[in-house]
Amino acid sequence: MHINASQIKELVLRPAESLNVEVKRWIDPTEPDGIAKIARAALAIRNRNGGYLIVGFDDKTLQPDIEHQPEDVRSVFHVDRIQGIVSRFSSDLFEVGVAFGERDGHEYPVIVIPEGVRTLVAAKADLIDGGKRLVHHGGVYFRSLSSNGTPSTTLARLEDWLTELSLDTPASALAPFVAQATQDLFALFNGYIMPSEVVEEWVRRLVERRLGAL
């Protein structure tokens, strides 16, 4: 994989979040919480047609998180470990890279997600720790803007837009509602191919939710 060294240098010197760039404090890629953060971010950025995950900076102040830096950054964030996390959770395998930029005598890893993708990926496995689901099987993670305009990694879930439908809604009434409810989703995913397992998971969850309401 070709990695633009000057781009990595710029990202570390002037980190900033966007729809294609996520900034995280130091995380441990051997612990469930760290694994989940890397998996969610990688899938979300990949679904945004590639970008970068910068590790070692406060995502609010964008200042270096010196206090929590590991002793051997290159070993902790070795590409084989990061690739293993992504491959474990992505419904479609894709290559990632890890580069390191220097700032004030400290090295910071930048996980590189290549561009040029045409198929959305979903999480193919759950990650549960202490009863908390950190990664959702079948979930499509995406970088989007929150209500205050801040970029963040979120789950794009179709069933959340269909909760107003009742099981006995006539077919003639469904078309305009579904068209309106899914307009933003289709615009968001325009030009992509939706993996069949993602659609199946959404349908399963929708049916379970509606039956549970009876």
Do 68 and 146 belong together in one domain?
yes
pLDDT value, residue 138: 84
Do 94 and 113 belong together in one domain?
yes
Do 3 and 58 belong together in one domain?
yes
Band of the pLDDT at 149, cuts 50, 70, 90?
confident
Do 34 and 82 belong together in one domain?
yes
Residue 170 has pLDDT above 60, yes or no: no
pTM value? Answer: 0.75
Do 64 and 122 belong together in one domain?
yes
pLDDT value, residue 119: 74
Q: How many domains, in total, are found in the chain?
A: 2
Do 84 and 130 belong together in one domain?
yes
pLDDT value, residue 213: 53
Residue 148 has pLDDT above 80, yes or no: no
Residue 39: which of 68, 81, 70 has the closest Cα?
A: 81
The residue ranking higher by pLDDT, 87 or 201, is 87
Residue 179 has pLDDT above 90, yes or no: no
pLDDT value, residue 206: 64
Do 148 and 169 belong together in one domain?
no
The set of long-range contacts for 103-108, using a CB threshold of 8 Å and a minimum separation of 24, is 103/12, 103/13, 103/64, 104/64, 106/56, 106/64, 106/66, 106/69, 107/73, 107/74, 108/12, 108/54, 108/55, 108/56, 108/57, 108/64, 108/73
The residue range of the domain holding 68 is 1-156
Q: What is the pLDDT of residues 96-123, one digit of tens each?
A: 999 999 999 999 999 999 998 767 788 9
Do 134 and 209 belong together in one domain?
no
Q: Which two tokens stand for residue 189?
A: 């995913």
CB neighbour class for 179 (10 Å; exposed up to 12, middle 13-18, buried from 19) = exposed
The CATH number of residue 85's host domain is 3.30.950.30
Do 136 and 193 belong together in one domain?
no
pLDDT value, residue 180: 46
Do 201 and 96 belong together in one domain?
no
Among 156, 173, 194, which residue terminates a domain? 156
Do 57 and 126 belong together in one domain?
yes
Do 103 and 42 belong together in one domain?
yes
Residue 29 has pLDDT above 80, yes or no: yes
Q: What is the pLDDT of residues 3-16, one digit of tens each?
A: 999 999 999 999 99
